[in-house]
A and B are shown apart, each in its own frame.
Chain A
Amino acid sequence: MIERLAYLWPEIALFVTTCVVMVLGLSPSRPTRKLSAVVSGFGVLAALVLAVLTTPHGDAVTHPGGQTLLPDLPRYAKVVIAGVGLLLLMLAAGTVDRADEDRIAAGVQKFDPLRSNRAEFYAFFLFSLTGLMLCASASDLVWLFLALELTSLPSYIMVAISTSRARSQEASVKYFFLGAMGAAIFLMGFVFIYGGTGSTNLNVIAESIARSGVNSITMLGLLLSFIGLGFKIAAVPMHFYTADVYEGAAPQVSAFLAFVPKTAGFIAMALLAAAVGWTHGPEGQSLPPEIRMTLWVMAALTMTVGNVLAIWQTSIKRMLAYSSIAHSGYMLVGLIAGPGAGPGAENGLSAVMFYLLAYGVTNAGAFAVLACLERRQADGEPIEIDRFADLKGLCKTHPVLGWVMVLCALSLLGFPPLLGFFAKVPLFTSGIAAGEIPLVIVLGVNSAIAAFYYLRLVQASFLEAPDRDVAPMDVAPFASRQAAGVLSATGVVLLVAASGWLFAQSGRAGTPDRRDDRGVIRTPTEKPADGRFEATP
């Protein structure tokens, strides 16, 4: 057990920071309270550094210590999670307690630790990231379930406390109940998998499936798991909460929801699928037909429903919510395609991992613009903007934010030469290589449909003139939110130059273990006779 700890330094760092932040946020002294955000930032930064320094490469992972189905995944995922997490944290500045803090600063009100949410908010943020990192290193279904719940539970509360308005609480309740239902479904699935294979250990499950195939109980379990995990990634038919929750939460928290649970869901799905292996089907190249078909239908519906509904939205947050659904559909194509022969263009899993990074970076920028802009209401409380009309003339009135929006919208559209395009190409290549040509055509058509609504963002911010009869918008007084937007837009442009290297990393992350028991690496062309894991000689 103790050797496990060697793989968990980033999580430990996050957890320790969480404990510190929880205390700091309750301090009666204002500067100390303000420290909670800074300390969280340093915690995530420390996790990033620790992930780079201590998380071993896949070929150094030994069986008792770490997750071995996708041995390089933890390292890649933790770095990405910490990196994007840092962006999201910068974005989160001033989300909670802003009105209270203003009143305290004005001397109208005294600090009341019972009414303060700041400590909880940052602590939950870090807890959720911890859970997400734990997902990536999961080697056991129980571990995976706990990690998934550790990711999700804090996010329900983050939605509720993100604004002081009732709609946030309504969103949170919806999110919680549907989330609990999703969790119940995949927990049920995990139970059936245990029943069918006799183990909760993913390695043992993989060996059992490789040895004797997928029996009907396991199959039921797997199907339930994938459908239940569909909630996390907001895939049809588990997508109904998305628009309401994104709209109800503050945009910073919506950005968080678009990345963190989605990543958790895809990592869990990738691990489960890796346990089943892409060695089934008539040609021995795909997931078992039942699972493939389920995911296929899910992918096609998710892309189409997401994109088509996004066209009709008038609220930007709802639009981004539906687009986030559509992006999950795109990524499912990579999951169906599977890892192919290893790192490279045919590796769908690595395409998913790369896409998660690109989507996380880009999406943070789009939401950052929303989080930065606000209007004073009659009662003096700022309300963030949410209508397309609010973005009119943004490139004129707020050039930096305007260009962030234009770049991020085009990247989300997958327009070359921005990051989103380079994330989409491997989905095309892996999908076609796996023979899923109809699905790739659906993907292509949907990418084109997406132009309808992403162009509205571009059009409103760059082309239209600002409304003269509407009071100009204020920029929220949090420099880090703007910095997050600028960083994200810079990433959208500059990460393209590094995409070769990044893709090599995600390629390793998406490659399943190919060693036999003696630690010899199998060549990609050589396929074991009876599945991925050979029986003991």
Chain B
Amino acid sequence: MNSFGILAALMVVPLLFAGAVAFLPAKNAKHIALAGTLLACVFGAAAAWMFPWSMSDTPQLTSEAEWIPALGIKFALGADGVSMALILLTLLLGPICVACSFTAITERERTYYAWLLVLQAAMTGVFAAQDLVLFYICFEFTLIPMYFLISLYGSTNRRKAAIKFFLYTFVGSVVALAGFVFVAWSHASANAGQWTFDVAALQKTAAGLEPSTQGWVLLALMLGFAVKVPLFPVHTWLPLAHTEAPTAGSVVLAGVLLKLGTYGMLRFAMPYAPLAFAEYAPLMATLCIVGILYGGLICWVQQDVKKLVAYSSVAHLGFCILGMVALNNTGLRGSVLYMINHGLSTGGLFLLIGMVYERFHTRDMRELGGLAARMPVWSSFMVFFAMASVGLPGLNGFVSEFMCLMGTFQASPLWSGGVCTISGDATPGASIGGNLGPIYAAIAGLGMIIAAMYILMMVGKVVWGPLKIPGGHGDHGHADHGHDSHDGSHGVLPRDLSFREVAVLMPLAVCCVWLGVYPKPALEAIDPAVRHVLQTVHSAGKPAPTIQGDLGTSEPAVREADKSEVER
């Protein structure tokens, strides 16, 4: 079908505007950047409208061009339901990141906005790539803009944070590249030396590899993706990078860049090494749970609000991966939804913290307190996003967290043989795969309690309680943020949030409520793609009849679809 290269346009538009930002006068930089991201949003809306959501189990809106035929490298774009959802998240965060920096960035503006736009193009490319090398190029290339954003516009310890961020991710992904090339070679040697890096073609080959070989492939790919997520033992770059990055950098980092890791796991690690993934699912789940508890406990003792939110990302992403390694529909859909929800709520929290930092130049909970009395609008948003993040029912965090835990709970041999209708939503493959079970879910559930503790403690200190402001005695709050606007062009920031700041937060808040109250459209949108991934995992290495037996509890229509998948 004709896609008019709409996905390519989503990458080209920010790049063109990045060029414009870089070469036009600096005083217009932010407006051009905003226009660029908004235009990208318009294109994104068009893409979402054109997108055939019902057929989104395989890549749609595809377009491709030859690049290096000798190596089988193509410039191929396309998106399935999951990719499209994450692309839309990226596009939504684009203008927000630009608009939240209007007053915070006063030096080297052109460089800043240009890199922000380039970063957006690269992230879109990661989600849209249908060629492994193109994916890898975009995946790696996100490092450069982020490296510059952190090390030029971050706070005191920014150089160290940027280098650490770069090296960790780079080391991991070079190993992942070796894994990709290995898979491509396996494909080539099985297909008379025809090299290709086509994502779908390689998946078929990779899933048929020997289980022990799959273990190595999984190890290589996970080294790349686990660092990016970050999973427990390799998470140490994240708090530093998050804390030191400028606000927009933290928002992009939490909102999208971490999702590159989870997306990579979903798109590559899982379907490329399905047997190994199922085999090592308990190990990965254990790492997730350690991350959830350990991250949560560290949050509890933080004094720096931003660091607290940064560590909470480690815990949250633990839930996300836990849902994924449950290897059933509930868990996986919860995981994908979690990727989006975490982007919205943590993004919102970082924005709010950035706004306070712009006013008071501190994020220390010992120096801040009782802001409700002074900044009621800010405080309402803070409470709102904190609740969304902690998983208050009715807001978005709850839905995905619950689904992840539910998936983990169901992913147990205990429920096989008809018991798996426990949720009423008899999902296909509820009982197969992950090999986790109630114990994993129960321990991970503790994480929710810890999350409630640290978030409420933070909200209690910063929003409620007696008013504490660094250097201020309550009234002349305007005087102590004069540095922000030393060039005089922005005026003094109001005591509470300005219209621009509210406009930045509002879209996120609306999405949080929407996904919390009525997540059905979103869940339906990602369902075909998630089913497709699960299908590839569960059909690997098993004779077909077993699968159909396992899927016996699903609706007939789905079973028909699954059958035809298997036969294909």
Contact = CB atoms under 8 A, between A and B. Distances in A.
A432 B178 contact: yes
Given A416-B136, A421-B137, A499-B68, A428 B167 contact: no
A303 to B, nearest CB: 13
Interface in B128-180: 133, 136-137, 140-141, 144, 148, 151-152, 159, 163, 166-167, 170-171, 174-175, 177-178
B193 interface: yes
Contact of A345 (B171, B175, B195): B195
B185 A463 contact: no
B299 to A, nearest CB: 30
Contacts of B72: 345
**What size tier do the contact residues of chain A reach?**
35 or more
A483 B171 CA distance: 34
Contact of A432 (B166, B175, B185, B193): B185
A456 to B, nearest CB: 9
B140, B174, B195 — most chain A CB neighbours (10 Å): B174
B174 A503 contact: no
A72 to B, nearest CB: 14
Interface core residue of A341, A344, A525 (most chain B CB under 10 Å): A344
B174 A463 contact: no
A125 to B, nearest CB: 33
Contact of A451 (B68, B141, B167, B193): B167
A437 B141 contact: no
Nearest to A424: B177
B159 A344 contact: no
B66 interface: yes
A393 to B, nearest CB: 12
Contacts of B189: 433
Given A444-B174, A507-B70, A410 B193 contact: no
B201 interface: no
Contact of B137 (A417, A433, A462): A417
A200 to B, nearest CB: 34
A426 B70 CA distance: 10
Contacts of B69: 500, 504
Nearest to A507: B70
B67 interface: yes
A344 B185 contact: no
A175 interface: no
Interface in A438-460: 440-441, 444-445, 447-448, 451-452, 455, 459
A240 interface: no
Which DSSP category, helix, strand, loop or mixed, fits chain B's interface? helix
B181 interface: yes
Interface in B16-36: none
B218 to A, nearest CB: 15
A470 B144 CA distance: 29
A341 B185 contact: no
A445 B175 CA distance: 7
Contacts of B184: 345, 429
Nearest to A433: B185
Contacts of B43: none
A533 interface: no
A400 to B, nearest CB: 14
Given A345-B72, A346-B188, A444 B178 contact: yes
Given A341-B193, A463-B159, A422 B166 contact: no
A425 interface: yes
B182 interface: yes
Interface in B170-226: 170-171, 174-175, 177-178, 181-182, 184-185, 188-189, 192-193, 195
A343 interface: yes
A388 interface: no
Contact of B71 (A410, A437, A462, A503): A503
Nearest to B216: A437
Contacts of A447: 174
B365 to A, nearest CB: 31
A451 B170 contact: yes
B491 to A, nearest CB: 28
Given A451-B167, A463-B152, A444 B177 contact: yes
B226 to A, nearest CB: 15
Contacts of B178: 428, 432, 440-441, 444
Contacts of A416: 136-137, 140-141
Given A344-B193, A455-B166, A504-B70, A433 B188 contact: yes
A507 B144 CA distance: 31
B68 to A, nearest CB: 4
B377 to A, nearest CB: 36
Given A415-B140, A503-B70, A455 B163 contact: yes
B159 A459 contact: yes
Contacts of B171: 445, 448, 451
Contacts of A524: 193
A415 B143 CA distance: 10
B70 A344 contact: yes
A459 B70 CA distance: 35
Contact of B70 (A345, A410, A437, A455): A345
Contacts of B166: 451, 455
A500 B177 contact: no
A253 B303 CA distance: 56
Nearest to A435: B185
Interface string B64-89: 00111111110000000000000000
Nearest to A446: B174
A85 to B, nearest CB: 26
A459 B151 contact: yes
A29 B140 CA distance: 55
Contacts of A345: 70-72, 184, 188, 195
Contacts of A504: 69-70
Interface string A325-363: 000000000000000010111100000000000000000
B337 to A, nearest CB: 31
Contacts of A426: 71
B49 to A, nearest CB: 30
Contact of A429 (B136, B137, B140, B185): B185
B71 A425 contact: yes
Given A429-B195, A433-B185, A441-B178, A463 B151 contact: yes
Interface in A46-80: none
B56 to A, nearest CB: 28
A429 B181 contact: yes
Interface in A395-434: 410, 415-417, 421-422, 425-426, 428-429, 432-433
A344 B68 CA distance: 10
Nearest to B182: A432
Nearest to A498: B68
B76 to A, nearest CB: 14
A448 B68 contact: no
A345 B194 CA distance: 9
Interface of B: 66-73, 133, 136-137, 140-141, 144, 148, 151-152, 159, 163, 166-167, 170-171, 174-175, 177-178, 181-182, 184-185, 188-189, 192-193, 195
Closest 3 A/B residue pairs (Cβ) = A416-B137, A448-B171, A345-B195
27 contacts: A343-B70, A344-B70, A345-B70, A345-B188, A346-B185, A346-B195, A410-B144, A415-B140, A417-B141, A422-B68, A428-B177, A428-B178, A432-B182, A441-B178, A444-B175, A444-B178, A445-B174, A445-B175, A448-B170, A451-B171, A452-B167, A455-B163, A463-B148, A463-B151, A503-B68, A504-B69, A524-B193
Given A344-B71, A432-B178, A455-B167, 19 more contacts: A341-B193, A344-B70, A345-B188, A346-B185, A346-B188, A346-B193, A416-B140, A416-B141, A425-B177, A428-B178, A432-B185, A440-B181, A444-B178, A445-B175, A448-B171, A448-B174, A451-B166, A500-B69, A524-B193
Interface of A: 341, 343-346, 410, 415-417, 421-422, 425-426, 428-429, 432-433, 437, 440-441, 444-445, 447-448, 451-452, 455, 459, 462-463, 499-500, 503-504, 507, 524-525
